[in-house]
Amino acid sequence: MSKTDNFYLKQNEPNKSCFLALRDILLDFDPNISETVKYGMPCFMYQNKAFCYLWKDKKTEEPYVLFVEGNRIEHPALEQGTRKRMKTFSVNPNEDIDLETLNEVLELALELYRD
């Protein structure tokens, strides 16, 4: 079993299903996106450069997408928190993922890597 598969399999529901859905969304968004594991969490690369991670909030346990260059992305769905560089896109695992908003943020993030 790969390290990436192991991350998803050890999650409890509903987070497991949410993380797997996010994984599919990210990998299907652009053919240049690939997945690896960094710092014990799934890391999504765009042309061999890390652009986002999947992780969960320490207090609420809710999943989020962590955008590496988040400080360079302006979108109301992103949260800076105490981070200087990265921003998060929070996902409620008990609701449908807001695909329209997530796709907007993904497009903004990838524009930084395509230039």
- Domain of residue 76, CATH code: 3.90.1150.200
Model-level pTM?
0.93
- pLDDT for 11 equals 94
Residue 1 has pLDDT above 80, yes or no: no
Share of the chain above pLDDT 90, in %: 86
pLDDT at 3 over 80: no
Torsion of CA 47, 7, 14, 50, to 10 degrees: -20
Give DSSP secondary structure letters for 20-87.
HHHHHHHHHH-TTEEEEEETTEEEEEETTEEEEEEEE-TTT--EEEEETTGGG---TT-B-TT-SS-E
Domain that holds residue 55: 3-114
Question: Tell me: the pLDDT tens digits for 35-89?
Answer: 999 998 999 999 999 999 999 999 999 999 999 999 999 999 999 988 899 999 9
pLDDT at site 81: 86
CA-nearest of 55, 44, 46 to 90 is: 55
How many distinct structural domains can be found in the chain?
Answer: 1
Q: Assess whether pLDDT exceeds 90 at residue 115.
A: no
If you average pLDDT over residues 17-21, what whole number do you get?
97
